[in-house]
Structure 1
């Protein structure tokens, strides 16, 4: 049993080593605290794209530019601020036919441009997507649900992570009849947010997009702590 316990402890220490690489030379407990906060989304960001194929590069460019400019004009008309709109540069690529025999033949050009829009009122998301469809946009890359008070929820998640780390350390110390002395090291890495994302949706089948109204966002945090114990 003693041998098995040592091997288990060694495996656990090796697994924890990349997180807190500096290992102290005194008795200690390493804990990782996890916390989360649940938020209801109240805004959104989406990315849409127009893709057109024409016989010439200039025709393809003009076709996508016309759609994008029409969409941008409608967004501004509906009160969307210019700083909440990002439009990409033109992406143009030649298209080829590949006959069974002979060389590839140029068949035309494919052009695309994308637009990213921040919608600060979630109830306006469907209407804004309708504008995209009416303007000639033919692809939705993603819809990302967000929360305006991200920092407040992040702090709640971080507090929960700290309490989780403390509770684990106390429980472990008590379980092994030890006493905690002080915190020797705290390591924190800002986690990436986990927004609700709907990807690769067809512009003409948006009935499913209404599901965001009942969605929630889980905002997570984590903290790694080393506690010193009594010798």
Structure 2
């Protein structure tokens, strides 16, 4: 005879486990909803600059063009190091080699393009931690053989305090606008129900401009850093309550 304990064990094992119910409850807002997009920007003087520079060379063959370009680039990098730019702040941003052709119309007769050689270019992106030295650095680049310069682009190394200030201003503005709509529509108050943020920290809104330089470029290039802004955009929803 099986024991009562054994029978209970068998009975328990024969019962299928109950399904686990999952319940999701959504409470819909009955009050009117106001959706606002608010952007606030805080500006400050930049403490960092990024400058693009590079050299271009032309030669009859690809090998010669690349060899001459490498020699000029080594001179340019050495000048940057002499100017106090650490190696970690110098980065190759592009190397290009292309065949060059003359497509000009000669004598009004259709003629195939004339091959004139190869052009090699090597570009660098240089970070500068002292914006006051940007003009001096540009001059040093040109003196070292740079044939083009792009920038400078100014930025803030740590935009966190600016973003915090912009965030608080944006939230305050959103609340003020929501309260206005509530009162104008005959409601007592506005209650925040959703909030989403996007931001851009310490970066300029404009892209870098490219300039070409001649060998006799004037010294003491003037550079004005101005100010850059950190922006916070809030998308908020308020429920209007009576």
Pick aligned residue for 1:179 from 181, 188, 204: 188
Larger Rg over CA atoms: 2
Structure 1 residues 94, 112: CA separation in 2 closer, same or farther (over 3 Å shift)?
same
Residue 145 of structure 1 corresponds to: 154
**Is 1:50–2:76 an aligned residue pair?**
no
Structure 1 residues 63, 173: CA separation in 2 closer, same or farther (over 3 Å shift)?
same
| 8 A Cα contact 1:33 1:163, kept in partner | no
Structure 1 residues 45, 219: CA separation in 2 closer, same or farther (over 3 Å shift)?
same
SS state at 1:137 partner: coil
SS state at 1:142 partner: strand
- The count of corresponding residues between Structure 1 and Structure 2 is 208
TM, length-normalised to structure 1: 0.80
Structure 1 residues 70, 102: CA separation in 2 closer, same or farther (over 3 Å shift)?
same
Pick aligned residue for 2:68 from 54, 63, 67: 63
Aligned residue runs from structure 1 range 31-46, under 5 A: 31-46=36-51
Residue 169 of structure 2 corresponds to: 160
Query: Which has the higher mean CA deviation after the structures are superposed, 217-226 or 201-210?
Result: 201-210
Distance 1:187 1:148 in 2: 25
| Greater share of residues in helix | 1
Shift of 1:186: 0.9
TM, length-normalised to structure 2: 0.76
Q: RMSD between aligned alpha carbons?
A: 2.5
Residue 224 of structure 1 corresponds to: 235
Distance 1:46 1:206 in 2: 18
Unmatched 5+ stretches in structure 2 = 1-27
Residue 112 of structure 1 corresponds to: 121
